[in-house]
């Protein structure tokens, strides 16, 4: 379980968070610029909190008092930033397996689940925006992370594809029983995927069941 109690001061907002992330899907909503992305970047190890700590089970990732900091690459976090983030010159398969922490079977499962099997050897840069989004989803899931952080994961997909990818993604998350924070502006999406709903307003993360 991920537990956290930290503050991070940014030029536009100060984010304050105190709680724990259990298994299942936690949806985080809030207005643009409220601090949602900053929160998950702190968990991912991409932003250092100003004060406080973050733990994963018995392992401390961050303790600002003790000047302890575990870098992102050592946290085994599946993180998908907002937007289409792929390596355009690499094949879809190489993009998904980039971390080299998963297995061939895991890659095959993700290619099938995300509708990318026929693009296995295709360079990711030649795919459509929606297809590249699915490649990024696959890369985030490939290492079977201890926590999955998704920042607007379906934002680049059209409505029909969004529904299918959402169902596949939710199914995989539930099969693995991996804690997940799913950031979205779409209230209907939040209602359909979340086991619990947190909100972020002016940097304050409100924890709710």
Mean pLDDT for the chain overall = 90
Residue 41: give the domain boundaries: 2-206
pLDDT at 197: 93
Q: How confident is the model at residue 209 (pLDDT cuts 50, 70, 90)?
A: low
pLDDT at 207: 84
- Model pLDDT for residues 122-179, shown as the tens digit of each residue: 999 999 877 888 898 889 888 888 999 999 888 777 777 788 878 888 888 888 788 9
Q: How far apart, in whole angstroms, are the C-alpha atoms of residue 9 and residue 126?
A: 39
User: Which CATH number belongs to the domain containing residue 197 in this structure?
Assistant: 3.40.50.300
Q: Residue 84: pLDDT above 70? A: no
Helices (H) and strands (E) in the chain, counts: 6, 11
Number of domains observed in the structure of the chain = 1
Three-state SS annotation for 44-97? HCCCCCCEEEEEECCEEEEECCCCEECCHHHCCEEEECCCCCCCCCCEHHHHHC
pTM value is: 0.87
Report, as an integer, the average pLDDT of 80-85: 80
Q: How far apart, in whole angstroms, are the C-alpha atoms of residue 204 and residue 36?
A: 9
């Amino acid at each position: 379980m991920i537990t956290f109690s930290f503050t991070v001061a940014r030029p536009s907002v100060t984010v304050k968070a105190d709680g724990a992330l259990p298994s299942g899907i936690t949806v985080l909503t809030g207005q643009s610029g409220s601090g949602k992305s900053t929160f998950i970047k702190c968990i991912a190890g991409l932003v250092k909190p100003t004060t406080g700590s973050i733990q994963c089970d018995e392992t401390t990732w961050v303790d600002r008092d003790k000047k302890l900091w575990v870098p992102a690459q050592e946290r085994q976090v599946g993180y998908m930033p907002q937007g289409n983030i792929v390596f355009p010159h690499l094949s879809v398969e190489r993009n998904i397996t980039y971390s080299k922490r998963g297995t061939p079977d895991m890659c095959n499962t993700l290619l099938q689940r995300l509708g990318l099997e026929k693009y296995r050897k295709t360079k990711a840069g030649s795919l459509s925006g929606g297809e590249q989004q699915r490649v990024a989803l696959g890369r985030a899931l490939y290492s079977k992370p201890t926590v999955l952080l998704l920042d607007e994961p379906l934002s680049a997909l059209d409505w029909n594809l969004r529904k299918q990818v959402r169902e596949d993604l939710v199914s995989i998350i539930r099969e693995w029983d991996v804690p997940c924070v799913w950031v979205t502006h779409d209230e209907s999406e939040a209602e359909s995927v979340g086991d619990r709903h947190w909100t972020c307003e002016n940097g304050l993360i409100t924890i709710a069941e």
